[in-house]
Amino acid sequence: MNNETSTACMQSTDAQHYLHPFTDHKKLAARGARVIVKADDIYLWDSEGKRLLDGMSGLWCVNVGYGRQSISDAVYTQMEQLPYYNSFFNTTNLPALRLAQTLSEIAPKGFQHVFFTGSGSEANDTNLRLIRRYWDVRGLAAKRLIISRQNAYHGSTIGGASLGGMAGMHNQLGEQDACVIPGIHHIGQPYYLESGQGLSEQEFGLKAASWLEQKILELGAENVAAFFAEPLQGAGGVIIPPASYWPEIQRICRKYDILLVVDEVICGFGRTGHWFACEYFGIEADLITFAKGVTSGYLPLGGVLVGERVAQLLIAEGGDFNHGFTYSGHPAACAAALENIRILRDEHLVEQVREVTGPYLQQQFASLLDHPLVGMVDGCGFLAALVLVKQKGASIFDAVMFDKTVDVGMICREHMFNNGMIMRAVGNRMIIAPPLTMSREQIDEMIALIRFCLDRTLADLQQKNLL
Ligand code: PXG
């Protein structure tokens, strides 16, 4: 390798010029960024030639795996034909209108319209605009308040971060626990391990849903516009609500005439073994946020599936909707999405995850429970999480957790990385969301690698006297 492409040189240039997302730059500069140079199937390679098994599908997005020549070809062809045009001023383009139609075919029942954005954050900002407009057109302008949840992730624009419930983000938005956008209220998350002790999971699901009703009554239903939630919390740590949660949430939203916004940015496009997790949980949403898996991350694209109740009113009575982005309906991004969806369909990847590889992945992942560090496992489809504990107990509520001063997730993540496995750490939860293409053999390989890295973590913790 010549000097310009040596790892040290790239790291130095990176440190001098590139501000990364969610990064402590002083720390990063001291250690040097890992430079990822290529990818194929479920693997990445760094600039030192080291292979990594990507258990996170990039950032929850590369659903069809890396190296799909047909997506590159579709984008190339589209870029030669029409690299860009906007969808403002009474114009449209072929990939955008075809993708809108295709999405209406794979979306849950009752979604015939789509609004395109460049990302999930922009899509949630779009939701805020749509919701405001919807209630204004209905003549119920007082319905302005939004309810969301603690430890939710809805993006990083001011709108997305205000909607989300990440304390670390809120703290940087303004005063402690306050959101920049007023009128967004957060209720507790349906995290059994955090607040369910003494209750059965189903009892806890109903209790967590009741927090929504309490908040609505406190704010006055006549003032509440919408409830935002991920079907299961992804960035929050793959937290799957008890089965009793969603039906009760649905009932409450209907009772008080509140729009239900389901953020499927992580769950959409097969992650749970269904095209959308709304089907997995039986949710009937008004608005569905999507991004990531729509193009498998090959190009940036997001959007909102707009339910007929909202779409028809805005079309019939809304007049101009003064909202949109330069890249709404970007032809090349839409071409990537169309080819990505063709692959998901023709290779039956969603069904495969639902019926074959998803159950196998969950079964194999659950076998990690015999490891001394693993106190609990949870998951569905191609999403799974394990909880790292200091000492196991009769139940997870009796386990001894690591002291808050020990960032056990980060320690474990380092061992994973250093041994060729990418797994994400959220506090004491280690999570995976691998490409949906994984075979049984690749799942076996991944589980063996995770087990090996857990052993390394255990040995390291013992050596450091942290156990
Ligand atoms: N909603 C959800 C549910 C998400 O997971 C977004 C919205 C925002 O999408 P954009 O395209 O604006 O990033 C996301 C994104 C993590 C992590 O650390 C997760 C996301 C993004 C960055 C990091 O797990 N999810």
Domain count, the chain: 2
Higher pLDDT: 177 or 281? It is 281
The tokens describing 363, both together, are: 């079964």
pLDDT of residue 173: 83
CA–CA dist 390, 362 (Å, integer): 23
C-alpha span between 180 and 162 (Å, rounded):
6
Q: What are phi and psi of 74, to 5 degrees?
A: -60, -40
CA of 227 to the centre of ligand 1 (A): 18
Between the CA of 332 and the centroid of ligand 1 the distance, in Å, is 22
Same domain, 276 and 360: no
Give the burial class of 368: count Cβ atoms within 10 A of its Cβ; 0-12 exposed, 13-18 middle, 19 or more buried: middle
Q: Is 154 in the pocket of ligand 1 (CB under 6 A)?
A: yes
End-to-end CA distance of the chain: 43
Q: How confident is the model at residue 172 (pLDDT cuts 50, 70, 90)?
A: confident
- Best residue among 266, 267, 278, 431 to mutate for probing ligand 1's pocket (most ligand atoms within 8 Å of CB) is 266
> For residue 210, what pLDDT band results from cuts at 50, 70 and 90?
very high
Structure tokens that stand for 393 in this block: 């107990």
CA of 145 to the centre of ligand 1 (A): 23
Closest protein CA for atom 18 of ligand 1: 235
pLDDT greater than 60 at residue 370: yes
| 38-65 pLDDT, tens digit each | 999 999 999 999 999 999 999 999 999 9
Does residue 54 sit in the same domain as residue 134?
no
Structural domain containing residue 442: 34-64+348-463
In this structure, are 298 and 438 located in the same domain?
no
CA pair distance 313, 138, nearest whole angstrom: 8
| 16, part of any domain | no
CATH of the domain at 418: 3.90.1150.10
- Say yes or no: 295 and 361 in one domain: no
User: Is there a domain that residue 19 lies in?
Assistant: no
Same domain, 322 and 332: yes
Mean pLDDT of 424-437: 97
Answer yes or no: do 220 and 129 share one domain: yes
Regarding whether 298 and 178 lie in a shared domain, the answer is yes
Does residue 155's CB lie within 6 angstroms of at least one atom of ligand 1? yes
Mean pLDDT of 73-80: 98
Q: Assess whether 125 and 48 both reside in one domain.
A: no
pLDDT at residue 273, as a whole number: 98
Residue 430's SS3 state is: strand
Q: Does residue 330 share a domain with residue 443?
A: no
Q: What is the DSSP string of 68-133?
A: -HHHHHHHHHHHHH-S---S-TT---HHHHHHHHHHHHHSPTTEEEEEEESSHHHHHHHHHHHHHH
Q: Report the mean per-residue pLDDT for the chain.
A: 96
- Is 121 within a domain? yes
pLDDT for the residue numbered 68: 98
- Give 226-254 pLDDT, tens digit per residue: 999 999 999 999 999 999 999 999 999 99
The answer to whether the CB of 231 is under 6 A from ligand 1 is no
What is the Cβ-side half-sphere exposure of residue 371, based on CA atoms within 13 angstroms? 25
Give the residue-averaged pLDDT of 103-127: 98
Domain boundary among 288, 319, 346: 346
- Sequence-separated (6 or more) residues with CB below 8 Å from residue 321: 129, 130, 133, 314
* Nearest Cα residue to atom 10 of ligand 1: 120
| Same domain? 219 vs 113 | yes
